[in-house]
């Protein structure tokens, strides 16, 4: 064996105990319930991703598993307790995913741990989004992470355009199920982006071979047409109210006031009507279905 090879073996043998001591020290530090904020900061300085990676000696994946286990233990020891402190959760996840960027479970469940509010998590959706985006960058072919990002934007941030964009991007990844593109369309619709929603549903209608999906896409497109018509009619009704001091009782009144050229009808051929609140709506005889509001899209598994 050459001298350089012997020297490398001696260096590895000498550094491995140091690495194990560092991991043991981290575990002991996390388990100490009485540590001070200063002690926590000192521990993080000694456990930065770059520092840990330098002393990992190529065992990045193994060490990532250790840090992920500690992150789970750290979260589990604090969740559902009174006034839990999750200050070390992000640093642990940061180190874990730096050591092993392909560890999908750390991104998916780590995002849940970070975004849960109250006693169930750190209440840091911003860090959860940062973590998931890092996972997408490191694993560009994984549609599931894009779906998780769409969920965070929708359910936690109420940022519907960003959520729709995340779902739409995820739907283009290999193996993405059809419901991901459907979620993109429905979230875009909820956020008021009717053009985006119409574009996605049109793509589904043209591309799918599933008769049920095709029928659903057609139904949604008709519903979007109704929503667009009603938005325009409501604007005209508001203008009518400014001029005459009251809302119109019928489409004929809008026409007689010169705000309409004729009586608008829905895709079934029935004239739109006005409700008691002055808002336009479908004729009770119409069979057109308005897409229901999304209560909660599919989120990360817990």
Alpha helix locations (H) across the chain? Answer: 3-31, 37-46, 49-54, 60-78, 89-99, 104-115, 125-138, 143-151, 160-171, 178-190, 194-207, 211-244, 251-256
Domain CATH number, residue 184: 1.25.40.10
What pLDDT, in 10s, does the model give residues 274-295?
A: 988 889 999 999 988 776 665 5
Average pLDDT in the 230-259 region?
Answer: 92
Provide the pLDDT confidence category of residue 220 given band limits of 50, 70 and 90: confident
Provide the pLDDT confidence category of residue 37 given band limits of 50, 70 and 90: very low
Does residue 3 lie in a domain region? no
- The confidence score (pLDDT) of residue 289 equals 79
Give which of 141, 152, 187, 154 is closest to 168, Cα–Cα: 187
Does residue 172 lie in a domain region? yes
Does residue 258 lie in a domain region? no
Average pLDDT in the 82-100 region?
Answer: 91
Does residue 295 lie in a domain region? no
Average pLDDT in the 149-176 region?
Answer: 93
Does residue 46 lie in a domain region? yes
- Domain hosting 136: range is 11-192
pLDDT at 240 over 90: yes
Does residue 212 lie in a domain region? no
- The confidence score (pLDDT) of residue 34 equals 37
Cβ proximity of 281 and 274 under 8 Å: yes
The mean pLDDT value of the chain amounts to 83
CA gap 252, 245 in Å, rounded = 17
Structural domains counted in the chain:
1
Does residue 287 lie in a domain region? no
Please tell me which residue, 191 or 47, carries the higher pLDDT value: 191
pLDDT at 169 over 80: yes
Does residue 69 lie in a domain region? yes
Average pLDDT in the 44-50 region?
Answer: 58
Is the whole-model pTM more than 0.75? no
């Amino acid at each position: 064996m050459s001298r350089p090879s012997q020297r490398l073996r001696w260096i590895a043998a000498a550094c491995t105990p140091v690495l194990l001591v560092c991991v043991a020290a981290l575990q002991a530090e996390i388990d100490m319930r009485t540590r001070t904020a200063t002690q926590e900061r000192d521990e993080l300085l000694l456990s930065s991703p770059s520092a840990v990676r330098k002393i990992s000696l190529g065992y990045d994946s193994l060490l990532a598993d250790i840090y992920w286990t500690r992150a789970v233990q750290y979260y589990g020891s604090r969740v559902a307790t009174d006034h839990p402190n999750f200050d070390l959760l992000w640093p642990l996840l940061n180190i874990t995913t730096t050591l092993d960027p392909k560890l999908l479970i750390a991104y998916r469940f780590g995002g849940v741990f970070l975004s849960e509010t109250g006693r169930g998590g750190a209440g840091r959706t911003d860090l959860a989004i940062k973590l998931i985006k890092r996972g997408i960058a490191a694993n560009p072919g994984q549609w599931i992470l894009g779906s998780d990002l769409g969920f965070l934007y929708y359910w936690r941030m109420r940022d519907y355009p960003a959520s729709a964009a995340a779902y739409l991007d995820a739907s283009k990844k290999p193996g993405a199920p059809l419901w991901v593109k459907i979620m993109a369309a429905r979230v875009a619709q909820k956020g008021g982006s009717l053009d985006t929603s119409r574009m996605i549903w049109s793509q589904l209608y043209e591309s799918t071979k599933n008769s049920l999906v095709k029928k659903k896409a057609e139904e949604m497109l008709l519903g979007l047409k109704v929503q667009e018509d009603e938005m325009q009619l409501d604007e005209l009704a508001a203008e009518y109210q400014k001029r005459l001091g009251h809302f119109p009782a019928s489409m004929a009144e809008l026409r007689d006031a010169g705000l309409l050229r004729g009586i608008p009808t829905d895709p079934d051929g029935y004239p739109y009507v006005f409700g008691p609140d002055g808002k336009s709506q479908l004729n009770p005889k119409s069979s057109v279905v308005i897409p229901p509001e999304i209560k909660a899209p599919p989120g990360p598994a817990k």
